[in-house]
């Protein structure tokens, strides 16, 4: 990895943590306990569907153990960002919306962190 690539990696993933995400926990009310919304200016760069037309807002729904045979992990995209209110604002960490309470990336299980980091690197074309 050259210096330019390393600088980009450090900018997008300071201390190895994805910078442009928002994480929600619905406290186990559904199989997709955690929802991770990808934010930032990746739009149309990292769509999971290469045939997608227009804006693409990506998110993941997953259980605490997404790699377990009985776990859950589902990737999705939509034309509108799913976690903002009518004014266009997402809740602060510790506040709630329809996805659950907003939490920090560090609050996720190691398996959930792994899913998020793998997808984040793909979306932002990081090595």
What are the tens digits of pLDDT across the range 33-43?
999 999 988 75
Instruction: State pLDDT tens for residues 39-86.
Output: 988 755 544 555 656 677 899 999 999 999 999 999 998 888 999 999
pLDDT averaged over every residue in the chain: 90
Question: What are the boundaries of each domain within the chain?
Answer: 20-123
Tell me whether residue 14 is exposed, middle or buried, using C-beta atoms within 10 angstroms of its C-beta: 0 to 12, 13 to 18, 19 or more.
Answer: exposed
pLDDT above 80 (res 13): yes
Residue 34 to residue 103: CA distance in whole angstroms: 10
Q: What is the dihedral of CA 112, 98, 96, 43, to 10 degrees?
A: 60
- Predicted TM-score (pTM) of the model is 0.89
């Amino acid at each position: 990895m050259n210096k330019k690539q390393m600088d980009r990696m450090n900018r997008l993933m300071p201390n190895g943590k994805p910078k442009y995400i928002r994480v929600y926990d619905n406290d186990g009310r559904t199989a997709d306990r955690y929802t991770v919304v990808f934010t930032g200016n990746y739009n149309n760069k990292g769509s999971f569907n290469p045939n997608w037309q227009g804006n693409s807002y990506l998110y993941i729904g997953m259980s605490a153990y997404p790699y377990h045979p009985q776990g859950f992990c589902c990737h999705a995209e939509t034309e509108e960002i799913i976690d903002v209110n009518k004014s266009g604002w997402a809740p602060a960490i510790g506040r709630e919306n329809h996805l659950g309470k907003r939490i920090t990336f560090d609050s996720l299980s190691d398996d959930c962190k792994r899913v998020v980091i793998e997808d984040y690197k793909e979306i932002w074309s990081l090595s």
